[in-house]
Structure 1
């Protein structure tokens, strides 16, 4: 059975009639070949409205086949075969079964079957967790995910609250009912997530600025202090997009917290946290402060704890009371109830929207102090307020919805982003967060934001001994680069600083490098956000999405795919005495390249490597085209007209560059553009083709400056763009190419081009001038080893000539490339490469012949061999 075309939309979230099979008190709805809704209702009534979890059921009806007699009915989609004994009451193991024919297995499910290998979902908060362990030793009670190695999952929506056409909550229907969604997918996990997104809604794309750097600290900042902080960011040339103001921005009469006492006590009703009026001792002129922030292209979010309602001291108390016809003569607080439509309408209209007009971009809903709504018992306050605040922002104008809050339960992926709470500072927390973030993708919650560097110290650590290890912070910032959101935060402790300039070399250098890399990767990350919207595949996703039949994909949870092309395994252990951290990484079958293209690895096993503080285990698929912004960005409020396309070695590859206005909901209406880029590499030529931009949106550029970088390449004999031969240049310049010997990279600057026209780039090679595999890796190892030797050897004047020359191989090769005419450039380069390879082979012997200590010789050899 299939749906017909050209039909009128259905009310609510109803499925097409052709998808439903109703037999008395039972109804089955075939939503996809892998997904069937199972309903039983004692009175024969079924609901078609939206619920917290399911908001859309009118999917294209897949083909399915029905066989039926007087007692049984079978529904077969090809991948699922449902069998039900009619008129036998509630669904049980005796009257219902579903055979799953999925990739990797075939199994039969019955109601009541216990799932044995669920791959995990997420949890509302990491407050006070040291890794996955709480202060009392208990483990994080993770919720189940949508996928399991069992090959099926059941979502029970029987007790889910309804969501009306006005977006407001409605009661759970009474009576005896069952409302289930059965997913049967085998090991096709990506299909399961896609099916769930189809009925539960996609992951929205956050505004572009969300993917920049967020500065946050629990501190009673004043207007002047924040301006000074912003000026320091500018002086240090550190990009910044979001400024987070914790709870001290507002007045808090009656607040009394012990020193070091956490203000995030779960569900404990504390007075003094709620506030909506700027503290004028800190912010004498809030509007002027907001104007300054806007002028600096900083997006501001303010912390809210709404549970105490609206207190009499608030500036907008009278306006709120008037909107609700509240008697102000008692001078009593207006009590909070998030599920009261009049209360929330008045709160938005009289208090929050006026603050937004002054400059607040979005709200940080820090906590609600009790678990459930008092008006609708069973309704999670966290889930509901996520829904209300996010949808209100979308209703107000064409802005994209955005909140900053904890996970509230299934369906909350529609309201990004998540605030994971006050994790404990330590290596355990750092080591757990990659796994925690990737697992959340199993419920489509793809936008967790963690307190980079951790929030608070373990309570048993005496206050004088509390300090943030610089190495730990640098590694945490590296994880932040490859996280959905890069946001630093910490407890209110005067000694707990995370400003990048607070750390000296080499830790500060690593922090600065991490922030710069984040901004360079912004176009790749933003494109992956669009993929998440389209497919249900989050930016950070577990390895088993792509390699479900490999056991190692399940046993290495600290590594993950970052988008489609990049594998990341953030180092989460401290360095040893040799200055490196051993960190094994499982590389899936196939060839993988390092982030700079310098090294190629054969996958299918565990790579045992050690990494210095500056190194992050990043691996890229062959042929990948990774879009980057140039260095020097200040924020993501606007995007540069230059785009770097890093093309990794490989026979062929492609990517689709994604663009939209970065702010509005237009991307949901088709207001966006894509540009397909294809790469093909052979022995004699490497061709990169950039299609004309397809699509339109407000602000679409008419031109773009493309810079194409061919990594791990030799010297070409010629470079052509649209058939025109470009000249070589020793310095970057439009419509030229150069060869960067420090990266072994051909850098082709196309200059400013019309995006409406395709561009065809061809680099032609002579096979005899191909570079040896791993050359750049050996050059860099030689440079590091020689640098080490000069630091530890007292008589560096006796350093052999070949050692010095090998240590500056990139410079020696650069002179070979730059001198002479075009015809001899490739030959000179090849000759220089051969000379370096001979020097590299002889380095151990050259150093062993010197009188240097044996321990230094061994360290030199170890650095060469890394």
Structure 2
């Protein structure tokens, strides 16, 4: 196999000579101020090559002090102070110690110390788990993470296999040895993750389409059914990027293997899952089907279970046998061995690459069989196959590597995307997945893909009673929006329909809204993927990355940060009789805004609120600038020329739009662009500065349409772009501004402008016309409450006129703003706001005076008070 490359251009395995201190049987390498490698080798021979975990050690040498005498060796980096008794051999608690200095004081580590407060890593699969509990009652055996509240972590690389220059497995060195990496970071968890990424490689950026919607179902789909499905997605105007075909795409006569040739799966059964030949009764023309899919801008991934080798019924059996000089006279299966270079080369050349040439975009590698390589005991088959398939794809031209497989252990973060397996359909599983996803960031595994909606029912539920609760699925889809990958999947159950149009209101409405929101957030998510590549900090990360000194950051694992600016706490409990679900959220210190900018909250404590099905607890840092795509996208195959910059209230804020070609490895070579956006808001003006684009890449646009949205705003006296005053327009038009009363948002449309020029937007306000705090929230509560009365009370003529007007406050405000001349617009807005506030304050009294049932009055009051 040809030489492979990891995710950075420079992947030198050996450290700089200046970073190493070698004394006989020991060698210490200072990699960063917080990371030191410690080796002992009985024969004095040390390993400089790549391993499964560590692929890069040629880092810039940090400053450190070395002092020694006949007895002691000391290394001091400022953060770490290492002490070793010379000539005493193997590392023990008696001869080696590392003292970690941090803001809270110091801690000392010695070999053999047990880590008491590790923050957890991840696990290979959630197969058959209900939350973190398996069907026999046992708990998920989570692996350790790289960070701990102890302030240090040790990675033992002694037993790792090596990787040669071609990326192929190398046996572990013989002889007695120790190869340890000590991370000392105190509470600076992000520094620890950055250090690990520096030596173990960054999280590669997946292709852009990965962040769209994936449709998957374990079902024996036929070509025509999938075309019908795609047409329905288009008719319903639901965006879609990936079609996942489970194992029924191929023929599977593997259960009829000749005696002595059966391969056993993890459950001890003969495996009939392996197959490489399209089932022509389902796909008469596979290439034609995939040509259709690509014409719809859909990517195709096929499920593989390679453990049974290549069997004689396969179309490519003869070609595979010829490549391996395999005797075909016996018609015996060609046995699988993933670490056999000839076998894997033949598998790619004769079977998989031709399928890719027909249209397969990437592989779902569903390994479920024996855990370790038979040729290299101790080498995880999951880990190894992730490595081989991903790097093979990277070698194929310049496209980005991409597989879809389970976690195999440290170092597997270099091979996204993860498949978490067949979780149980339950509220318990939904409640556990936010924690599981965020915790995986502690080992840089930032791209878990879960079966949204769950995969299979509890085994004790009788088949006639098996059905998917619409509310549970809608809430799971909302979690999917704020997950690394949005992919629905399910077992082969006729009752398990997850098509969005299968659900009526209000559940279908919530599902549609979730998918639309996911695509609007795509530029924010894609920029966060670049941030993960650059820093080691994943898109979904625990609260304690940002607030490590607060106990609450550890006590509420169901909430997390989604990128740098958004805090999410997906609702994972059903609604009560009042139609709302209580879901307390810990807000870190400072001010936070709701996702629509309607409400502000002072953090530093618990926010006790209830949420309707349509509501997701989403909170945004003040001053944040969120880049969004406009509604109506069909897929992420190409980006629109319009970018919405949603600016939240706050004195200052900034973001950087990130762009690359979305498909190649050019982003690793500097082929990308960033556009900095800064916001500054005062009492009389709000300025948003869009800088010129910095950088370039193939297909880089020369012009772009910027739409600036100033949330929670009043009516400006004027709006200027680059010193030119814009006119007001009641309808969206390039080169104008408007006021969206439904969002209390000033929307400035720059039109199509050059990305190579900077653009300055200034909205000037009179403080006396600023909207009162919480206005938008009150407007929406009033609208919801009046709508409720109309639904439950037949005689709406009993409602006073002031109640009806309060229920459509946004429309009343829009008429006040849009009609008349520019001179009195702010005054008319202020008068209309004051009239609404008077109506809102009088709503309880107005409704109480009507003959409406008391229960309905109480429901009305409850909705107003939320």
TM-score range, shorter chain: over 0.9
* C-alpha spacing 1:99/1:750, structure 2 compared with 1 (3 Å): same
C-alpha deviations, 1:764-801, integer Å up to 9, x for none? 00111011111000000011111111222233212112
**Tell me, what secondary structure is at the counterpart of 1:794?**
coil
- Aligned residues of 1:216 and 1:488 also touching (Cα < 8 A): yes
For 2:32 and 2:597, how far apart are their aligned partners in 1?
41
Matches within 5 A, 1:166-185: 166-185=166-185
For 2:140 and 2:112, how far apart are their aligned partners in 1?
25
For 1:289 and 1:18, how far apart are their aligned partners in 2?
58
* C-alpha spacing 1:264/1:397, structure 2 compared with 1 (3 Å): farther
State the partner residue of 1:356: 356
Report the CA distance between 1:265 and its aligned residue. Answer: 6.0
State the partner residue of 2:610: 610
State the partner residue of 1:94: 94
Matches within 5 A, 1:568-647: 568-647=568-647
For 1:829 and 1:682, how far apart are their aligned partners in 2?
20
- The answer to whether 1:451 aligns with 2:451 is yes
For 1:11 and 1:670, how far apart are their aligned partners in 2?
16
Report the CA distance between 1:254 and its aligned residue. Answer: 4.3
State the partner residue of 2:672: 672
* C-alpha spacing 1:389/1:614, structure 2 compared with 1 (3 Å): same
For 1:273 and 1:254, how far apart are their aligned partners in 2?
7
Report the CA distance between 1:500 and its aligned residue. Answer: 0.4
C-alpha deviations, 1:722-747, integer Å up to 9, x for none? 00000000000000000000000000
- Aligned residues of 1:52 and 1:162 also touching (Cα < 8 A): yes
- Aligned residues of 1:105 and 1:151 also touching (Cα < 8 A): no
For 1:594 and 1:320, how far apart are their aligned partners in 2?
58
Report the CA distance between 1:175 and its aligned residue. Answer: 0.7
State the partner residue of 1:388: 388
* C-alpha spacing 1:756/1:11, structure 2 compared with 1 (3 Å): closer
State the partner residue of 1:304: 304
State the partner residue of 2:798: 798
State the partner residue of 1:321: 321
State the partner residue of 1:191: 191
For 2:266 and 2:347, how far apart are their aligned partners in 1?
24
Matches within 5 A, 1:395-544: 395-544=395-544
* C-alpha spacing 1:10/1:382, structure 2 compared with 1 (3 Å): closer
For 2:254 and 2:167, how far apart are their aligned partners in 1?
36
Matches within 5 A, 1:278-289: 278-289=278-289
- Aligned residues of 1:522 and 1:629 also touching (Cα < 8 A): yes
**Tell me, what secondary structure is at the counterpart of 2:478?**
helix
For 2:542 and 2:552, how far apart are their aligned partners in 1?
11
Matches within 5 A, 1:826-841: 826-841=826-841
- Aligned residues of 2:265 and 2:370 also touching (Cα < 8 A): no
For 1:368 and 1:853, how far apart are their aligned partners in 2?
60
State the partner residue of 1:562: 562
Report the CA distance between 1:272 and its aligned residue. Answer: 1.3
State the partner residue of 1:130: 130
* C-alpha spacing 1:267/1:755, structure 2 compared with 1 (3 Å): farther
Q: Could you tell me which runs of 5 or more consecutive residues in structure 1 were left unpaired when the two chains were aligned.
A: 1-8, 257-262
For 2:66 and 2:210, how far apart are their aligned partners in 1?
49
Report the CA distance between 1:851 and its aligned residue. Answer: 2.1
Report the CA distance between 1:174 and its aligned residue. Answer: 1.3
For 2:11 and 2:521, how far apart are their aligned partners in 1?
42
* C-alpha spacing 1:202/1:267, structure 2 compared with 1 (3 Å): farther
State the partner residue of 1:253: 253
Report the CA distance between 1:368 and its aligned residue. Answer: 4.2
Report the CA distance between 1:811 and its aligned residue. Answer: 0.5
State the partner residue of 1:686: 686
- Aligned residues of 2:221 and 2:282 also touching (Cα < 8 A): yes
For 2:10 and 2:309, how far apart are their aligned partners in 1?
39
Report the CA distance between 1:102 and its aligned residue. Answer: 1.9
Report the CA distance between 1:255 and its aligned residue. Answer: 4.5
State the partner residue of 1:51: 51
- The answer to whether 1:749 aligns with 2:745 is no
C-alpha deviations, 1:551-587, integer Å up to 9, x for none? 0000000000000000000000000000000000000
- Aligned residues of 1:320 and 1:346 also touching (Cα < 8 A): yes
Report the CA distance between 1:12 and its aligned residue. Answer: 4.9
Q: Could you tell me which runs of 5 or more consecutive residues in structure 2 were left unpaired when the two chains were aligned.
A: 1-8, 257-262
- Aligned residues of 1:270 and 1:369 also touching (Cα < 8 A): no
**Tell me, what secondary structure is at the counterpart of 1:838?**
helix
**What TM-score do the two structures reach when normalised by structure 1?**
0.98
Number of aligned residue pairs: give it.
Answer: 852
State the partner residue of 1:810: 810
C-alpha deviations, 1:580-634, integer Å up to 9, x for none? 0000000000000000000000000000000000000000000000000000000
For 2:269 and 2:400, how far apart are their aligned partners in 1?
32
Report the CA distance between 1:842 and its aligned residue. Answer: 1.0
Report the CA distance between 1:268 and its aligned residue. Answer: 3.7
**Tell me, what secondary structure is at the counterpart of 1:781?**
helix
- Aligned residues of 2:241 and 2:635 also touching (Cα < 8 A): yes
State the partner residue of 2:701: 701
Matches within 5 A, 1:68-83: 68-83=68-83
For 1:153 and 1:89, how far apart are their aligned partners in 2?
22
* C-alpha spacing 1:368/1:265, structure 2 compared with 1 (3 Å): closer
State the partner residue of 1:5: none
**Tell me, what secondary structure is at the counterpart of 2:67?**
strand
For 1:695 and 1:517, how far apart are their aligned partners in 2?
29
For 2:719 and 2:556, how far apart are their aligned partners in 1?
43
For 1:478 and 1:674, how far apart are their aligned partners in 2?
29
- Aligned residues of 1:28 and 1:38 also touching (Cα < 8 A): yes
- The answer to whether 1:210 aligns with 2:240 is no
CA RMSD of aligned residues (A): 1.2
State the partner residue of 1:330: 330
State the partner residue of 1:6: none
For 1:398 and 1:75, how far apart are their aligned partners in 2?
43
State the partner residue of 2:142: 142
- Aligned residues of 1:269 and 1:370 also touching (Cα < 8 A): no
Report the CA distance between 1:357 and its aligned residue. Answer: 0.4
Report the CA distance between 1:813 and its aligned residue. Answer: 0.5
C-alpha deviations, 1:331-360, integer Å up to 9, x for none? 000000000000000000000000000000
**What TM-score do the two structures reach when normalised by structure 2?**
0.98
- Aligned residues of 1:540 and 1:561 also touching (Cα < 8 A): yes
State the partner residue of 1:104: 104
State the partner residue of 2:238: 238
For 2:494 and 2:837, how far apart are their aligned partners in 1?
53
The answer to which of 95-104 and 376-385 deviates more is 95-104
Report the CA distance between 1:276 and its aligned residue. Answer: 0.3
Report the CA distance between 1:548 and its aligned residue. Answer: 0.1
**Tell me, what secondary structure is at the counterpart of 2:329?**
helix
